[in-house]
Homo-oligomer: A and B are copies of this chain.
């Protein structure tokens, strides 16, 4: 398991963490599998969407604010109930495929840490699971040894 640290810069924002995720996938040594991301917070989430035009995530943040306004009345009295709701709408976890030892995102996709109660120091847990256990290097090695006379 790896931990990705994210310093978010405003109350509600999307921080692009694709580079850190890609690096961790390469370090894992997994050729084929799934990269799991998990936010350990309850007022933030993960979004995989376009980073080419920053207006895309701006529109998403504005829509989430329209759906769960930060200044509306809520039962939870800490002032961040809207953040908990936004977190549950986009989700605290994400998964993306690993192929050829690389994070296999689509051409326009990026991984964003979605901050709904910042700015804060945040953390994402990352784990890479191999799709076929018998293809990991250690396994290959043990099979080769068995094949030797």
C-alpha spacing A40/B48, complex, angstroms: 10
Let me know if A55 and B34 touch, CB within 8 A: no
SS class, residues of chain A in contact with chain B: mixed
Task: Kindly supply a per-residue 1/0 record for chain A positions 50-73, scoring 1 wherever the CB is within 8 Å of any chain B CB and 0 otherwise.
Answer: 100101101110110001100000
A-B contact pairs, 6 of them (CB 8 A): A41-B108, A42-B48, A42-B108, A55-B77, A59-B81, A99-B125
Task: Kindly supply a per-residue 1/0 record for chain A positions 64-95, scoring 1 wherever the CB is within 8 Å of any chain B CB and 0 otherwise.
Answer: 00011000001111100100110111111111
Q: Please tell me if A133 contacts chain B, counting CB pairs below 8 Å.
A: yes
Size class of the contact patch on chain A: 35 or more
Name the residue in A109, A132, A145 with the highest tally of chain B Cβ atoms < 10 Å from its Cβ.
Answer: A132
Residues of chain B lying within 8 A (CB to CB) of residue A88: 47, 49, 60, 90
